[in-house]
Structure 1
Amino acid sequence: MDKRIITIILAIIMLTGCSDQKILEEQGLVQAVSYDLAKKRPGSDLQPIHVGIAIPIMKGGSSSQKSLEAVARSSKEARSLLTSQTEWNLVSGQVRTALIGRDVAEQSIWRHLDTLEREPSVSQRVKLALVKQNAYELMSSDFKTGSGTFSYLDKLLEKGVKNNVIPEVTLYKFARDYYEDGIDPVMPILVKKNSSIDSDGIALFRGDRYITSLKASQGIIFTILTDRIHAGQVNIEIPGSKKSQAEFAAMRIIKSKKTVNVVHTKSGEQFTVHISIKLKGSVIEYLGKKDLSSEKDRRYLEAAMAKQIEKDMVQITEKTKKYSTDSLGIGRYVKNSMTYKEWKSMDWRKIYPKTNVVFHVQTMIKDYGKIK
């Protein structure tokens, strides 16, 4: 082949590649997105959505963020309106966090998350959180962190998951639990408190609607019930009596193990679910009159802590049964104990509140440091 023809072909290929290049300075790399309800427009029956985004910007060697907002009938329409507000090309591939306002969550959030999930450039590992107040107001606030609120949110959620005080909820996990039989999705709750953001418990969903929540102090027990953990701290208050004073113990968990056994009744629509939990850890604080250097007193404390943890687990389970939301995924164990046909013939939503759930907790004190 003529060398001139080869040169022309190579030049065309190189020029074509150049036309598709995206110059970094021209890209608005969206890091966080928020969803809130907006007021209905006169004459329209559609519920508009308030969508906000956070984009990092550099100022004199330090980073901050620029927040944009738009009110639209859908997420895609909002994106178009947001694009018109900036000279940048908005890129969603770097989104780390999606914040859901409580008002949106109380209606139905899946149509918004579904749009996000279907975006090819958006990672399935985007973190989700419910905001007790206005999601955009929290995301756009300046908390003086020096790196933008989007970064603050990302690190805060990562730390909560690492310490097992909140569940790790990604776009993928929420979608999986939303579609799967025998479990309902959950989401960590964030709240703006003065000059900081704080965790405020766990949101429990029935399908894609926010129904109720657990307290922040119940987070570690919820995580023990739903996951195998190797870190986290359980704070246990042992009630007093006429013969003894109240005691307090803090145990740092180093290992947990869960086994589940489902017992069927003859009717086939009533179940007893036995959940056995083994916890191994170090007592890092103890307020009481027992001497932990005594094996007898350690066995007493292990039994007392296990009893109190069982009570905490019952409280969480009873709340999920009260609101008919299987946030613990107990239905998955029931489903796995029967045939597919048997499972489909049941209405688990109605059966779950009548299901008997029994906890068997064992705690083992590995060490207690210098505590006496």
Structure 2
Amino acid sequence: MNRTVLIAIVLLFLPLSACGRTKTIDQLSILHTVGYDSLEGGELRGTLLYPDYTKSKNEDNIQIRKTRGKTSSMLLARTNKQTKNPIELSKIQVIAFGEDYARHGIGHLIDTVFNNPMIATDIQTVVVTPTARKYLEGVKKNGTLAIDDTIVQNYTTSSMPRTSLHIFMNDYYGEGRDPYMPILKQGAETNVYVDGLAIFKDDKFKVRLDNNQAFIFGLLDNFNHQGFYELPIKIGSHTGDIVIRTMKNKPAWRPGKSNRSRSLELSLNLFVIIREYPDWVHLHNEKDIHLLEKTIEKKVKSEITSLIKTFKENGVDPLGLGDRIRAYNRNWNERTFYKDEYKKLQVKIDVKTTVIQAGIKR
């Protein structure tokens, strides 16, 4: 056979073979969010949201499917029977757990769904209230699949710690630390908003942080957060409130100087903008600036101390203090540390604040 003809035939069949492996987007149900709730008798209740790309912009293109079963695989199989196109799992963006289910333990789903190689590790995992079913019904009613965008926006423009499936799994399987997820709920106008942080012990949701505590927790994350924080201030006989915006946070952990295996030192450098302040505060006055910086340092240090105390009292360690001690103690044992040593662990905290810009008076 002529060599030129042979090459032409081969080139002709290459695109045909490639077309056989592609999936047309309007012939798939690309799953965006799946929610899980627990039912009596060990059953799971599943709620799934996915966009329908065949509908026009003026139509409701968010589809919801509801099912139940004893395993996550059967939930998906039964949902497939309800859709005109097969469900595609690889593009899922959010896995949501009803609060009651999360408190009773999500270990089975961690071992199955979370370890599914089809699911990317940069997706978001969340606890939702009151249940995943009611929450996702509200999302559909609102008409926008903005759950993952809301979470990312909250840790980039506020001080919520970074979250993702990868971070959760690293903390869950790693020694000397506990995992966490954001808590979401519906607002008054069915909008999505973050309502604190769920701290887990093993596979169970154990401690709830409010947004103020989550802000402080986020300052101890190496990610560069930019969040707003309101705190009281007093100068002489004057009292009022100021609003700051953190522009950069630099936490640094070191072993304690006195006992490297029994204590830690935290240095936190904050760079802030004063966004609002009373008219009796004079930001052109170095004395007032210095007083503001000291007020912020004292408040943040107090909040960090209180947060660590809360973690110790509840036996959770989302800051990974055990892991930090482990790095300097070759004989470290996780079981022994949390049973006998964690509550006694000394943490020396030093906060330094620099005001880099002033905002408006009020």
Q: Note closer, same or farther for the CA distance 1:13–1:264 as it changes in structure 2 (3 Å cut).
A: same
* 1:248–1:288 Cα contact (<8 Å) kept: no
**Superimposed CA distance per residue, residues 12-53 of structure 1 (whole angstroms, 9 cap, x where no aligned partner):** 77665554442322100001111111232xxxxxx1111121
Partner of 2:274: 283
Question: Is 183-192 or 101-110 further displaced after alignment?
Answer: 101-110
Deviation at 1:290, TM superposition (A): 3.1
1:155 matches 2:149: yes
For residues 370 and 77 of structure 1, the distance between their equivalents in structure 2, rounded to whole angstroms, comes to: 57
Residue 175 of structure 2 corresponds to 181
Give the match for residue 165 of structure 2: 171
Q: What is the Cα deviation at residue 338 of structure 1? A: 1.9
Q: Which residue of 2 aligns with 1:121?
A: 118
In 1, the alpha carbon distance for the partners of 2:111 and 2:238 equals: 53
Q: 1:281-329 deviations in whole A, cap 9, x for unaligned?
A: 1111113733221101111111111101111111111111110100111
1:360 equivalenced with 2:350 (yes/no): yes
Shift of the 288–207 alpha-carbon distance from structure 1 to 2, 3 Å rule, reads farther
* Unpaired runs of at least 5, structure 1: 41-46
Match of 2:243 among 250, 253, 256: 250
- How many residues align? The count is 357
Query: How far apart in 2 are the matches of 1:284 and 1:212?
Result: 32
Report if aligned partners of 2:159, 2:219 keep a CA contact under 8 Å in 1: no
Q: CA, structure 1 residues 204+298, in 2 after alignment: closer, same or farther (shift >3 Å)? A: same
1:111 alignment partner in structure 2: 108
Indicate conservation of the 8 Å contact 1:202/1:216, yes or no: yes
Deviation string 1:218-242 (CA, Å, 9 cap, x unpaired) is 222110123342422222223x69x
The residue number in structure 1 matching 2:208 is 213
Partner of 1:262: 255
**Partner amino acid, structure 1, of 2:127:** L
Q: Is the 8 A contact 1:167 1:187 kept in 2?
A: no
Structural mapping, 1:49-198, within 5 Å: 49-58=44-53, 59-62=55-58, 64-142=61-139, 145=142, 148-149=143-144, 151-194=145-188, 195-198=190-193
Question: What is the correspondence of 1:227-242 to structure 2 with a 5 Å cutoff?
Answer: 227-238=222-233
Per-residue Cα deviation, 1:186-244 (whole angstroms, up to 9, x for no partner): 11111123322222111111111100111112222110123342422222223x69x63
Q: 1:48 to 1:264 in 2, by over 3 A?
A: farther
TM-score in terms of structure 2 length: 0.89
CA drift of 1:132 comes to: 2.2
RMSD: 2.6
Aligned equivalents of 2:79 and 2:140: distance in 1?
24
Q: Does the residue aligned with 1:218 lie in a helix, a strand or coil? A: helix
> 2:27 matched to 1:26?
yes
Letter in 1 for 2:156: K
Structure 2 letter corresponding to 1:158: V
Separation of aligned partners in 1, 2:27 and 2:20: 14
Q: Is the 8 A contact 2:184 2:193 kept in 1?
A: yes
Distance change (3 Å), C-alpha of 1:338 and 1:196: same
User: Within 1, Cα distance between the matches of 2:237 and 2:61?
Assistant: 55
Secondary structure of residue in 2 paired with 1:155: helix
* 1:35 counterpart SS class: strand
1:274 aligns with 2:272: no
Letter in 2 for 1:189: I
SS at match of 2:23: coil
Separation (CA, whole Å) in 2 of partners of 1:265 and 1:104: 44
Query: Relative to structure 1, is the Cα distance of residues 21 and 260 closer, same or farther in structure 2, using a 3 angstrom cutoff?
Result: closer
Tell me the TM-score normalized by structure 1: 0.87
Alignment match, 1:313: 304
Pair 1:110–1:264, CA change in 2 (3 A): farther
CA distance in 2, matches of 1:196, 1:65: 15
Matches of 2:322 and 2:19, distance apart in 1: 54
